[in-house]
Structure 1
Amino acid sequence: MNTPLPDVPEVRVVGLPQLTQGFDLVERLDLQMHLKVHGPLEPMTGERLAQLTEEISLRGRGGAGFPFGQKLRAVAKSAISRGVRPVIVVNGSEGEPACRKDTVLLNRAPHLILDGALLAAEAVGARTLVVAVTRNSTEISMRAALAERGLSDRRGQRMRARVVRTPERMVSGEASSVIRAINGGPALPPGRRVRASDSGVGGAPTLLSNAETFAQVAVAARIGARRYSNTGTGQEPGTVMLTISGAVLRPMVVEVPTGVPLRYVLQMAGAPPVPQGVLTGGYHGNWIDSAAVQDAVVSRESLSAVGGSLGAGAILPIGPETCPLGEALRVANWLAAETAGQCGPCKLGLPAAAGGLADVMNGGGPAALEALREVTQAVKGRGACKHPDGSARFFASTLSAFTDDLAAHVFYGGCGRETTGVLPLPLPGYQESEESIPSGEKVLIDWTLCQGHGLCADIIPELIRINPDGYPSVADAVVPVHLQGRAQRAVRRCPALAMRIEQTAVPTSLARPGLPVSRRRELGSGRG
C-alpha cells in the first residue's frame, strides 16, 4: 500500500555529522542553539568563496549537479557588467514525493542554510534573499528563522529577505519555475531557456541553488577546504544527504560521506538483502540491479558507472515480491499527471508513454512494446522544460533494467506478481491544495489614482513589487487561492482607492478538475 513520506522522517548519520550536527540535541536548531553548535561565520570575498567551493568540488545538490563556484562567478560577472545587484535564491521547493532531504534541513537546520545563502549574498553584493518552499512546515520554519535574525522584506533594510510558497509539484521545483513564481507568475517553466545568472528575479542576475548546497557552503566556510576534504572521496569530498524509502523497514534521511558502499546505507534502512532493483536519483533517475548495488558507492561518479544517478539524492529499493513494471506504471501515471501542459512532448507524450506501459503489462505483446519505445524516444529533447527528459529517462531505464519481467509480460501476459505499491506517491487529491489553484482573479491598479504609498507591496509581496521610481509593479498573473485573502486586504487598505480585483479567465493548463472557480468579485472602489 502506498504510504507518503512524512515531512521529517527519521534522520541518521554515517560517521561524524556535518549538516546534521546538533540533531541529537534538539528537534530544531534555533539561532541561539545553531551558534552554540556551529559557531559564528566570518564573511569572505566573492573570489575567496568561489575558490573554496572549487577546492572542495562542490556541485549543486538539487539534481543537476552544476559546479557552485562556476555559478557564483557567472552571477558576479553579470552583476558587475550590468551594474546591478544580484539576488540570492534558496530553492527548497521539494516537490518530488520520494525526496525529503531539503525538507529535513529546512525544518531542523534552517540557519545553516541561511548562513550559506547570506555568505554568498555578502560575497557578491546581493541585497535580496528569497527562500522558496513547498510545505507548511518548511514555510513556518524559514519564516521563524528569518524573524530570529531580524530579517524581513520591509524597505530600508540592508538585506531584504522573504519566503515564497510554491506548489508541491514536480515541475515547480525547476529553477526557472521557482524564479517565475518569485516574479509573481505561475510556478511553471517559462518554455524558454534563460540563464538565471544573466536574468532571474526581477530581471537581475540570480544565484539559485538548493537548500543542501547552501548548507554545504556554510559548513565548508567554517571548517576550511582541507578539513572538509578529509571526509569522503578525493574527487567528491564531504557528505551528501540521501532519502531512503521504497521497500525499507525504516524510511529515513541519512547524511553519509561519499565513498560509503550503497549496500551499507540500504542495510541501515532495512532494505531487502537482495533487492530486485534500486531506483537511484528519484523519479527522474535510473534503476540499477542487485549486482550493481554490490559494486556502487555513494558518489555521482560511482553511481553513474553502474548505470545509476545520484540526482536529488533519493534511493528507492524494491523487493522480489512486487511487480517492477507495475511499480513503474504507478510512477509513470504520476509523472504524466505532473505535466505543466505547455508543450506536446509533456502534455501528450508522457500520458501516451504511461498508456503504452499499461498496454505492455495488459498483454499488448511486442507491438505494444515497440510503440512504447517509439513514444519514449520521441519525448526526449523536445520539451519546454526538463520534466519530459527526466520522465523519458525513467521509462527507458525501466525497460532496460527489468528485461526478464518485460519478457514475461510481453510473451506470457504477466509475471505472476501483484503490485504492492512500495514506491511513495502523494495520496489522491494532493494537488487540490490551495497553493496550486488559480482563483480566476487579477489585481489591477488605476494609475490615475495611485500615489505610491507602497502598502500593497508590504501586504502581498508575492504579487506586487515596488519599482525604483517608488510605484508598485503588479505581476501579470492570476491570484492563487491561498493569496486571495491578502489580495483583498491590500485592496481595502489602499489609501488612494487605486486597487481593484477583477475576474479573469483561468488558463486550461492551470485549472484543476473538480474544483470550482471563484465567483465574480469586483472591488473597484477599494472599500471593504
Structure 2
Amino acid sequence: MSGDPRPGLGCVGAPRLLAGLDQAPRLDRLGHLTAHGPLPRYRPDELVALASDIDLRGRGGAGFPFVRKLRAVTQSARGRDGQTAVVVNGSEGEPSCLKDTALLLHAPHLVLDGALLAAAAIAAEDVVVAVTRADVEQSVRDAVAERGPGGRQVRVVRLPERFVTGEGTALTAGLNGGPALPSGKKVRTSERGLGGVPTLLSNTETYAQLAVAARLGEAEYRSTGLPTEPGTVLLTVAGSTVVETPTGAALPYVLELCGTRPGQGVLVGGYHGRWLSPGAARAADVSRQSLASFGAVLGAGAVLPLPEDTCPAGEVARVTRWMAKESAGQCGPCVRGLPALADVLEDAVRGGGAGALEAVEARMKGVRGRGACSHPDGTSHFVASALTAFPDEFRDHALGSGCGRRVLGALPLPQDEVPERLVVDWTLCKGHGLCVDILPDVVRLDADGYPAQASMPVPGRLRPKALRAVRRCPALALRIQE
C-alpha cells in the first residue's frame, strides 16, 4: 500500500505484547530485555505442553490451534531427514489491519523470540520473516543485526504488498522464488512449505504471544482474559489504532478508548469479515465465543466502526471495487466475477432500479465456492453481510432516493500518492479551534485563532483523525477533498 500508515498504540489494562513502548517508540535488543526479561529455555515437549495449556490460537484469521501445527510439522518431518522450517507471516495486505505491522515496527525482538523458540522445538534451521513494507523490513533487519552472530540465523524476505499475499500457499510460493499467488490447491505447509520441507507457518502476533507465554508460564498467562480464551489480543480499530486488550473486554469500551462508537454498525474481521448491528456491537465482548453468537469472527483483529455521517452503501461499494482489483487473476470468479459484482453493486447504489439488488445476489451466487482461493468467497460474504446489515440503505439507493450522505472513506483503503486535503470553508468557520486539538500535526492557527491555511495535506495515517475533525466541527466548516 502506498502511504504506509503507521498505527497509533493503546492498551486496555497492563500491556504484555506492547510492554515497554511507553518508554521508547521501538524496543532495541537492550530495551526489549529490559521490558520483557531473558527468554527461558524450553525442551520441545515443554513448549508443546505450554502451547496446549494456554490454548494458543493463530491470530492471523482462522484461529487454528498452534499446538496442532507444531505436532503436524514434527510428524511430517519424520521420514524426511527431519528437515523443517519456520515462517513468520508478517504480510498485512489489508488496509484495515496493522497489528502485525505494529509489532514488527515497535517490538520486533518479541516476534523473533517466539519464532526462535518454535524453531528450537521442531529443530528448524531455516527461520524466515516475510514482510511487505520497506519500513517493516528495515526494522526486522535491524533487530536481527542487534542480536549479533551465533545461533539460528533469521532471514527477512520482502514480498509484493497485496491482499492475497498473506494466504499460506501464496506466501510460500513467494518465499520459494515464484509469484506470491495462491496455488489453488489444498497444500498444507506443515507437509510441504518453504523449500519443500515441512514448515511451521503462523502470523506475527502468534509468535509474539508464544514469547510472552514462555516468560510468564501457564498460570500467569491465564491470569488475564477469559478462562476459555486466556491472554490478550491485538485489535486494529478504525484502521489506525492498534490496541492490546484482554479477551472478554467489552467491545464498546475498546471503541470508546479509541475515540469512536459503534455508529451505524461495526465490521469485525476485516474485508472478509461480518457486520455487527449497533445493538450487537454494544453487547459484544472481545472473544471468539461472544462474536460467534452474533454471527461474526474476530479474524485478524480488524474492528471498523462506521460513523453516522457516511453512506453505508457507498462505503461498501468502494471497498468491493478495491477487492475486485486485488484479484489473484488466476480463476474466472476472481478475474470476471468480482469486477462484475462490483459493477452491479455500484449500479444499485447509483439507483439501478428494483432489480438491481437481485443482480447483486446473482453475482454473489456466481462466485461462491468456485474460486481457486478464498478471496471470491470472502468478498461475496462481505457484501452479503452488508446487505443484511443495511437493507433499507441499499433498497433506498436502488430505488433512487438514496440517503443524502457523502462517502467519507471511513473504511480505509490504500492512499493515493497525492495526499487528500483538509479544506476550510471560510464562510462558515467561527474559529472554535477543535480541529487543531484533534489534528495538531496538520492544522495550525493564526494569531486570531483561525486555521492559518485554507487547504492542508492529510497524511494517510492521520485520515481517521481528519474524519473526526470534520464530524466534530461545530460550524460544519471542514471537509476532506480527494
Alignment TM-score > 0.5, same fold: yes
Q: Does 1:366 align with 2:349?
A: no
After TM superposition, the score normalised by the length of structure 2 is 0.84
Q: Which runs of 5 or more structure 2 residues have no equivalent in the other structure?
A: 419-482
Give CA deviations for 1:155-190 in whole Å, capped at 9, x if unaligned.
Answer: xx7623210001111001111111111100111112
Q: What is the rounded CA distance, in whole Å, between the counterparts of 1:297 and 1:40 in structure 2?
A: 33
Aligned AA (2:53):
E
Aligned to 1:136: 134
Aligned AA (1:67):
P
Of 364, 370, 386 in structure 2, the residue corresponding to residue 382 of structure 1 is: 370
Instruction: Report the aligned-residue RMSD.
Output: 1.7
Q: What is the rounded CA distance, in whole Å, between the counterparts of 1:108 and 1:148 in structure 2?
A: 14
Of 210, 230, 241 in structure 2, the residue corresponding to residue 252 of structure 1 is: 241
Question: Shift of residue 235 of structure 1?
Answer: 1.2
Aligned to 1:209: 202
Of 59, 62, 78 in structure 2, the residue corresponding to residue 61 of structure 1 is: 59
Aligned length: 418
Q: Which runs of 5 or more structure 1 residues have no equivalent in the other structure?
A: 152-156, 431-528
- Contact 1:230–1:238 (CA under 8 A) maintained in structure 2: yes
SS of 1:316's equivalent?
Answer: strand
SS of 2:271's equivalent?
Answer: coil
- Contact 2:90–2:129 (CA under 8 A) maintained in structure 1: yes
Of 171, 183, 204 in structure 1, the residue corresponding to residue 176 of structure 2 is: 183
Q: What is the rounded CA distance, in whole Å, between the counterparts of 1:312 and 1:5 in structure 2?
A: 21
Aligned to 2:384: 396
Aligned to 1:270: 259
SS of 1:81's equivalent?
Answer: coil
* Structure 2 counterparts to residues 508-523 of structure 1, below 5 A: none
Of 171, 174, 177 in structure 1, the residue corresponding to residue 167 of structure 2 is: 174
Q: Does 1:337 align with 2:333?
A: no
Q: What is the rounded CA distance, in whole Å, between the counterparts of 1:99 and 1:221 in structure 2?
A: 26
Q: What is the rounded CA distance, in whole Å, between the counterparts of 2:208 and 2:21 in structure 1?
A: 14
- Contact 2:321–2:339 (CA under 8 A) maintained in structure 1: yes
SS of 1:406's equivalent?
Answer: helix
Of 208, 219, 231 in structure 1, the residue corresponding to residue 212 of structure 2 is: 219
Aligned to 1:17: 15
Q: Does 1:198 align with 2:186?
A: no
- Contact 1:4–1:424 (CA under 8 A) maintained in structure 2: no
Q: What is the rounded CA distance, in whole Å, between the counterparts of 1:378 and 1:226 in structure 2?
A: 49
Give CA deviations for 1:469-514 in whole Å, capped at 9, x if unaligned.
Answer: xxxxxxxxxxxxxxxxxxxxxxxxxxxxxxxxxxxxxxxxxxxxxx
SS of 2:256's equivalent?
Answer: helix
Q: What is the rounded CA distance, in whole Å, between the counterparts of 1:314 and 1:244 in structure 2?
A: 6
* Structure 2 counterparts to residues 274-353 of structure 1, below 5 A: 275-353=263-341
Q: What is the rounded CA distance, in whole Å, between the counterparts of 1:194 and 1:6 in structure 2?
A: 31
Q: What is the rounded CA distance, in whole Å, between the counterparts of 1:158 and 1:297 in structure 2?
A: 42
* Structure 2 counterparts to residues 53-92 of structure 1, below 5 A: 53-92=51-90
- Contact 2:2–2:416 (CA under 8 A) maintained in structure 1: no
Comparing 186-195 and 125-134, the one that deviates more: 186-195
Aligned to 1:261: 250
* Structure 2 counterparts to residues 344-493 of structure 1, below 5 A: 344-428=332-416
SS of 1:256's equivalent?
Answer: strand
Q: What is the rounded CA distance, in whole Å, between the counterparts of 1:44 and 1:268 in structure 2?
A: 37
Give CA deviations for 1:317-339 in whole Å, capped at 9, x if unaligned.
Answer: 11221110100011001100000
Question: Shift of residue 358 of structure 1?
Answer: 0.7
Question: Shift of residue 101 of structure 1?
Answer: 0.6
Question: Shift of residue 392 of structure 1?
Answer: 1.2
Question: Shift of residue 145 of structure 1?
Answer: 0.9
SS of 1:366's equivalent?
Answer: coil
Q: What is the rounded CA distance, in whole Å, between the counterparts of 2:55 and 2:4 in structure 1?
A: 32
Q: What is the rounded CA distance, in whole Å, between the counterparts of 1:133 and 1:328 in structure 2?
A: 28
SS of 2:376's equivalent?
Answer: helix
Aligned to 1:127: 125
Aligned to 2:478: none
- Contact 1:361–1:413 (CA under 8 A) maintained in structure 2: no
Q: What is the rounded CA distance, in whole Å, between the counterparts of 2:11 and 2:2 in structure 1?
A: 22
Q: What is the rounded CA distance, in whole Å, between the counterparts of 2:378 and 2:124 in structure 1?
A: 33
- Contact 2:3–2:415 (CA under 8 A) maintained in structure 1: no
- Contact 2:185–2:372 (CA under 8 A) maintained in structure 1: yes
Q: What is the rounded CA distance, in whole Å, between the counterparts of 2:47 and 2:3 in structure 1?
A: 36
Evaluate the alpha carbon distance shift between residue 428 and residue 5 of structure 1 in structure 2; reply closer, same or farther with a 3 A threshold: closer
SS of 2:334's equivalent?
Answer: helix
Q: What is the rounded CA distance, in whole Å, between the counterparts of 1:416 and 1:41 in structure 2?
A: 57
Q: What is the rounded CA distance, in whole Å, between the counterparts of 1:279 and 1:65 in structure 2?
A: 18
Aligned AA (1:408):
D
Percent identity between matched residues is 54
- Contact 1:5–1:97 (CA under 8 A) maintained in structure 2: no
Give CA deviations for 1:201-243 in whole Å, capped at 9, x if unaligned.
Answer: 1100000000000000000111011111111111111000011
After TM superposition, the score normalised by the length of structure 1 is 0.77
Q: Which runs of 4+ in 1 moved over 3 A?
A: 3-7
Q: Does 1:94 align with 2:92?
A: yes
SS of 1:365's equivalent?
Answer: coil
Q: What is the rounded CA distance, in whole Å, between the counterparts of 1:53 and 1:28 in structure 2?
A: 27
Q: What is the rounded CA distance, in whole Å, between the counterparts of 1:189 and 1:108 in structure 2?
A: 30
- Contact 1:130–1:164 (CA under 8 A) maintained in structure 2: yes
